[in-house]
Chains A and B, each alone.
Chain A
């Protein structure tokens, strides 16, 4: 098997600048039935996806497959485009809000396809999905298409997800609101990859893209979980000079970095690298010398976005470099520890981060299953219950990460270890950490919140969950 090859084109010495999105779409040769892509580095501040699709719809182009790296609440206008037949198929890491409810209610003819970040990079490289035109919003670029994540109006830091699209899409259109003098270096997306450039007034809302700095949680439950998780890490043999870790998003997961920092200072241990979703606490560790390298596929806050431009050891990586299972070694495969959140965890340690307990899509696959499978030790952090919904349950609503890739579950009321990790059971039983069976956690949760009535689904499949290797892991059904 070989990598999918992008069409070879030769620069004609003409300007790549196009005066309008409409003209760029025309020049790209986009036709009904084709596949287009976007990235989600702008998160809730993304203007480009909705804007481009509006122009495409106005040109009468229909039946498109869209493969954004992910979708958010801000993409609610896609509902009308699905109804109008402009969008026929969606491949994404996740979706939220009204669009997610609309999909969950079964209004799309074809089920959407959910892929992890590593799985998306794999599918694109393997040519399982072929991108005809990539529309990539970039905070800054020059007239040739050298683009970067820190611009005058908007800042998103790493462009790691977009890098894959720029490399494999037949036609690459950059959309920017900060056109700078040639050359814009260092660049995340390079000139030899880019067909056309469109300058518009605003590509995104800086407020929605990244917050100033990631705030520490004050929730005592989350802090207790984070403290336990940090104690699990420091009790294991991989915690030694040069170790590596990643923390996912979510209050408890992010707070682990804080406790880990204290332990590292006390023990005089420095980490070799941290990976992820980079946030301010990790940048602090880099600048204080407690972490030697940061690998950044996505900058979660402005501190991280600024750091990538100024710290030599803060490295921008593509989604393929981050977590693609079908290459000669993604960075995730070098992880000693990954700390991940969960909406639900079941007795078999399967994790759901995709659907709410009422069966409605409300999350994203992200790098969850990629890092869980890759890291030596996968630690899930979650409260035993949220509101009156149990987190630790008999069977998860949707499997995103298979239980055989999960090692430890840390809750505020006990820590459960996957029975297949007898080494961890032996090591952690010697500590004074509250080790319990996962069955005991399920029972305890049910005693507190009561037994939930089973939710009903209909036969129609609304989403197919692909595992990182492309196999079908689960399906989401229309909610009853």
Chain B
């Protein structure tokens, strides 16, 4: 699946993460560019988590630009999902009663 448009979610506030998504014009692979204040301790973990959410939606050749200011996992997942839904023009279509909580 491809994004219908560029999309973003989240803020630059502390304890939040800003996610910007766009299609990768050059390749077919997903790219994740992360800037994080906890890069040393959680950088790989956050990249993995973002990648998992992207895969769950079956997105291909997407570029993620993320600026993390110390967000917890729940925040990161929520921000990535929101950005994806917006990019798929599915904002406000979420079925809250069936949202899967891990």
Contacts and interface: CB of A to CB of B under 8 A. Distances in A.
Interface of A: 357-359, 386-389, 448-450, 452-453, 455
Nearest to A451: B45
Contacts, number: 39
A448 B72 contact: yes
A46 B73 CA distance: 41
A357 B73 CA distance: 19
Contacts of B15: 387-388
Contacts of B69: 387
Given A450-B45, A453-B45, A388 B70 contact: yes
A453 B70 contact: no
Given A387-B14, A387-B15, A387-B37, A453 B72 contact: no
Contact of A387 (B38, B40, B43): B38
A298 B70 CA distance: 33
A449 B43 CA distance: 13
Contacts of B71: 388
Interface centre among B41, B44, B71, by most chain A C-beta atoms within 10 angstroms, is B41
A453 B37 contact: no
Contacts of A452: 38, 41-42
B70 A389 contact: yes
B40 A388 contact: no
Which 6 A-B pairs rank lowest in CB-CB distance, beginning with the nearest?
A: A387-B70, A452-B41, A388-B70, A358-B40, A455-B40, A453-B41
Contacts of B14: 387
Interface centre among A357, A387, A448, A450, by most chain B C-beta atoms within 10 angstroms, is A387
B3 to A, nearest CB: 28
Contacts of A449: 72
A387 B14 CA distance: 7
A351 B69 CA distance: 25
Contacts of B43: 453
Nearest to A387: B70
Contacts of A450: 42, 45, 72-73
A358 B45 CA distance: 16
B17 to A, nearest CB: 10
B77 to A, nearest CB: 12
10 contacts: A358-B38, A387-B14, A388-B15, A388-B38, A388-B70, A388-B71, A389-B70, A448-B72, A452-B41, A455-B41
Interface in B36-57: 37-38, 40-45
A448 B15 CA distance: 13
Given A358-B40, A387-B14, 13 more contacts: A357-B41, A387-B15, A387-B37, A387-B69, A387-B70, A388-B38, A389-B38, A452-B38, A452-B42, A453-B40, A453-B41, A453-B44, A455-B40
A388 B72 contact: yes
Nearest to B73: A450
Nearest to B39: A358
A449 B49 CA distance: 13
A450 B15 CA distance: 14
B91 to A, nearest CB: 27
Nearest to B69: A387
Interface centre among A357, A388, A389, A448, by most chain B C-beta atoms within 10 angstroms, is A388
A389 B69 CA distance: 11
A359 B40 CA distance: 10
Interface centre among A359, A448, A450, A455, by most chain B C-beta atoms within 10 angstroms, is A450
Contacts of B40: 358-359, 453, 455
A457 to B, nearest CB: 11
A450 B43 CA distance: 12
Contacts of A387: 14-15, 37-38, 69-70
B2 to A, nearest CB: 31
Contacts of B41: 357-358, 389, 452-453, 455
Interface string B64-76: 0000011111000
Nearest to A358: B40
Contacts of A359: 40
B71 to A, nearest CB: 7
Contacts of B37: 387
B51 to A, nearest CB: 16
A449 B71 CA distance: 9
Nearest to A357: B41
A471 B64 CA distance: 50
B78 to A, nearest CB: 14
Contacts of B42: 388, 450, 452-453
A307 B14 CA distance: 37
A452 B37 CA distance: 13
Nearest to B38: A388
A357 B38 CA distance: 9
Nearest to B70: A387
Nearest to B75: A388
Interface string B1-37: 0000000000000110000000000000000000001
B35 to A, nearest CB: 14
A453 B70 CA distance: 14
Contacts of B70: 386-389
Contacts of A386: 70
A455 B43 CA distance: 12
Nearest to A359: B40
Contacts of A389: 38, 41, 70
